[in-house]
Amino acid sequence: MRGADILVQTLAVAGVRRIFSLSGNQIMPVFDACIDAGIEIVHTRHEAAAVFMADASAQLTGQVGIALVTAAPGFANALGALYTARASESPVLLLSGAAPIAQDGTGAFQELPQAAMAAPVTKLSFRAASAASLASDTARALRTALSGRPGPVHLALPFDVLEAEAPETLPVEMSLRPEPMAASEDDVAAIRAALDTAQRPLVLTGPALNATRAGEVLTRLADAVAAPVVPMESPRGLKDPSLGDFSQALAKADLVIGLGKAVDFTLGFGTVGSEGCRWLVVNADAAEQGRAQRNLGTRLARCIAADPRMIAAALVSSPGGGGRTEWRSEVAELIAARGSASGGAAGKITPAALCAAVQRRIDAAKSPILVCDGGEFGQWAQACLSAPRRLINGPSGAIGGGLCYGIAAKKACPDASVFVLMGDGSVGFHLAELETAAREGTPFVLVIGNDQCWNAEHQIQLRRYGPDRLVGCGLSGARYDQAAVALGGHGEYVTDLADLDAALARAIASEKPACVNVAIEGLPAPAGSGH
């Protein structure tokens, strides 16, 4: 059995049914092996797109998303998206082709120290050494991606390892399961004791415990601990438009429990909170534990090395006495206080009006999934729109992956109605993936808020340097809707608000990857009721 067959059959045993990939010389044996294993290959137009798709798939399914790219330049193209997966705590396995081991140091075609390059943006990055070890290597990679703080893993696959023959040695089921990282009873008791004495506690969760991934667990947790539970996954942190005036609640809190929430720039490096506020931090990642200790100092009452998801489960299974209804209501009202800043020039479509029209379609849709990219229009979408399942660009702050998320969302949830909102800047990164969507038969609605501008940077220039110092942020009135049609999809171009609802309806009815290109006024995103 070839190494490639051992690799692919191990993935199949683990339940993998789909790989996102862009082809290349060194990974052709893996493509060949996927035929016999019955694993689908979604063939993308860029390596970063494959990783973004694996990221979205992981977030929606809870299983490891698999991306497969070729060596050197193909691998390098994937690194940026791997950084996003790391920040979003998405269990992704990046498989990369690599030059043959037998040619190490000889100047082989596309020879590159790929394992070392991926190490800073992964939980684990290594190179397979032999065909005989590929089953255990793959099992280790899958386990690591899911265990503790979830995140991406990279496994480099030398071409001669993929081609070499070895005995069939598939791992037993137990070797594929994630390794639990439970807290002690003392740690859970300490959290309970802190909650019992607090008047204004807050529970902050990281991306792995957001509403899409944790679902009803967050509601049950809030009831069990009688405290607001607030997921934080935006790069804008306390200025996240979808959190309204939440920063005011944090300033009043006397206890903050971080369940996987990094104490980093998104929390002012731990400087937020009322005087005397105590912090309890739960994180499975040693680096994040150390960061919490450095940033919080004496305010850190306890740092717990455990999987936050297991702590949440333990707290839910032994609920407290309830109460604090006024505090919970106050925090909910502060989060709901999202400024609209919707006033604009006469006759122009505002971002708020565009989002309101899309929300009507989401509310009427069957099993909707909302994807919001980054940038200024992405922040409008994150502030104004809601759906039972939502994917955003995550704490990395990267933009451009939203279209890829939309394809993966439709693949993972074929019965879902997928809505993707992006600005005209971010959509340019992976516009060609509309051809992938058409070829793969994955219909969704892509709504572009087109202000002919890199508006996030434009707003920075306005604030810092003034209107006479604007440079390098302008874009054209490009017809992205026409490009969508040329790539096999459906296109709509809207310049009048009165035409928007009908355009969205036609896009949905097309049952194609549909692009609704909407000319909007470039307004700054809302940031709470006082802005």
Residue 204 · residue 238 · CB < 8 Å: no
Number of domains making up the chain: 3
Q: What is the C-alpha to C-alpha distance for residues 500 and 206, in angstroms, rounded to an integer? A: 36
Examine the domain organization and report whether 323 and 431 are in the same domain: no
Question: Which CATH number do you get for residue 325?
Answer: 3.40.50.1220
Q: What pLDDT, on the 0 to 100 scale, is given for residue 530?
A: 47
Same domain for 380 and 323: no
Residue 93 is encoded by which pair of tokens? Answer: 């396995």
How far, rounded to the nearest angstrom, does the alpha carbon of residue 359 sit from its chain's CA centroid? Answer: 21
Residue 344 belongs to a domain = no
Q: Is there a single domain that holds both residue 147 and residue 70?
A: yes
Split the chain (531 residues) into runs of 10 and give each run's mean pLDDT.
96 97 97 98 98 98 98 98 98 98 95 97 98 95 96 98 89 81 91 95 97 94 96 94 94 96 96 89 96 96 96 88 90 85 67 97 97 96 96 96 98 98 98 98 98 96 96 96 98 97 98 98 80 43
The H or E element that residue 96 is part of is strand 92-98
First to last CA, the chain: 63
Q: Pick from 307, 336, 365: which residue ends a domain?
A: 336
What is the pLDDT, as a whole number, of residue 177? 86
Cβ neighbourhood burial of 213 (10 Å; 0-12, 13-18, 19+): buried
Instruction: Provide the CATH number for the domain around residue 370.
Output: 3.40.50.970
372 and 271 housed in the same domain = no
Nearest to residue 291, comparing CAs of 267, 269, 275?
269
Same domain, 191 and 307: yes
pTM of the shown model: 0.96
Could you give the CA distance from residue 164 to residue 161 in angstroms, rounded to a whole number? 5
Closest by Cα among 222, 137, 221 to 171:
137
| Strands laid side by side in the 229-231 sheet | 229-231, 201-205, 255-259, 278-283, 300-305
Q: Is residue 526 part of a domain?
A: no
Does 39 fall in a domain?
A: yes
Question: Alpha-carbon distance 516 to 448, whole Å?
Answer: 6
Q: Where are the alpha helices (DSSP H) in 372-495?
A: 375-384, 402-412, 433-440, 455-465, 480-486
Domain identity same for 144 and 40: yes
Do residues 356 and 475 both lie within one domain?
Answer: yes
Residue type, 414: P
The pLDDT value recorded for residue 321 is: 64
Give yes or no: residues 375 and 298 share one domain.
no
The shares of helix, strand and coil residues in the chain, as percent rounded to the nearest 5, are 50, 20, 35
Asked whether residue 273 is assigned to any structural domain, the reply reads yes
Q: Are residues 301 and 198 in the same domain?
A: yes
In single-letter form, the type of residue at position 149 comes to R
User: In which domain, by residue range, is 404 found?
Assistant: 351-519
Question: Domain boundary residue among 176, 209, 241?
Answer: 176
CA-closest candidate to residue 149, choices 337, 361, 395, 376: 395
The whole-number pLDDT of residue 345 equals 58
Q: Say yes or no: 72 and 219 in one domain.
A: no
Residue 528 lies in a domain: no
Is residue 285 domain-shared with residue 363, that is, in the same domain? no
User: Which domain-ending residue is among 126, 145, 176?
Assistant: 176
Helix (H/G/I), strand (E/B), else coil: 99: coil
Residue 529 placed within a domain: no
Q: Residue 343 domain-assigned?
A: no
Two tokens, residue 121: 């943006």
Q: Which residues pair with 391 in a beta bridge?
A: 371
In a domain, 499, yes or no: yes
Please report, for residues 374, 446, 455, 477, the alpha-carbon distance to residue 471 in angstroms, rounded to integers and kept in the order given: 21, 28, 12, 17
Same domain, 149 and 211: no
Task: Compute φ and ψ for 343, nearest 5 degrees.
Answer: -65, 135
